[in-house]
Amino acid sequence: MSRIGNKPVPLPKGVTATIENRMVRVKGPKGELSLRLVNEVNAAMGEDGITIAPVEGAERGRQMWGLSRTLVNNLVVGVTQGFTQRMEINGVGYRAAVQGKNLNLQLGFSHDVSYPIPAGISIVAEKPTALTISGMDKQLVGQVAAEIRSYRPPEPYKGKGVKYAGEHIRRKEGKKK
């Protein structure tokens, strides 16, 4: 039995939710998000928030129960607080700058990498070597951060590259004479 699935998703003040045809829509101060639930899971509005329950006799429903509850909770957190991901750029001459709707990255290639910023995401370059990615949709924030990191992942010898803030890079020892 899912322990996290048993807990209802609380709705803070200023947040409204509607459930119709397995579609959960949540409106809050930052905007509106929606999620289509799988057929093996039911959602219902209650006094203490949104409750998620598996359909009787469906094994996949029990498997998707906790995940569905977490995804609905991410909608509520997204429309109230939003999500942020911080990134660091290490390396001589490596830097980033936001120019209009593009993120311009200089990562040691012969050319600059221009990354178009998707709708619903804001990227701030606090320093040339520090980025903050923020938005309502947790999946989209993580996807954008992963795509930016994939241009130059951190390498294990000198640690150069784009990494998440707080990420530990396992270092290797170089050549010996």
> Which residues sit opposite 32 in a β-bridge?
27
pLDDT at residue 155 is higher than 70: yes
For 26, other C-beta atoms within 10 Å of its C-beta total 27
Copy the structure tokens of residue 50.
């949104």
- Provide the CB-side half-sphere exposure for 164 (13 A, CA): 12
- Provide the CB-side half-sphere exposure for 58 (13 A, CA): 15
pLDDT at residue 1 is higher than 80: no
Predicted confidence (pLDDT) per residue in 32-57, tens digit: 999 999 999 999 998 889 999 888 88
Q: What whole-number percentage of the chain has pLDDT above 70?
A: 99
Average pLDDT over residues 11-16: 90
Handedness of CA 66, 67, 72, 73 (dihedral sign): positive
pTM: predicted TM-score of the whole model, two decimal places: 0.87
Average pLDDT over residues 144-160: 93
Of 85, 61, 90, 62, the residue nearest 160 (C-alpha): 90
Domains of the chain: 16-80 (3.90.930.12), 83-164 (3.90.930.12)
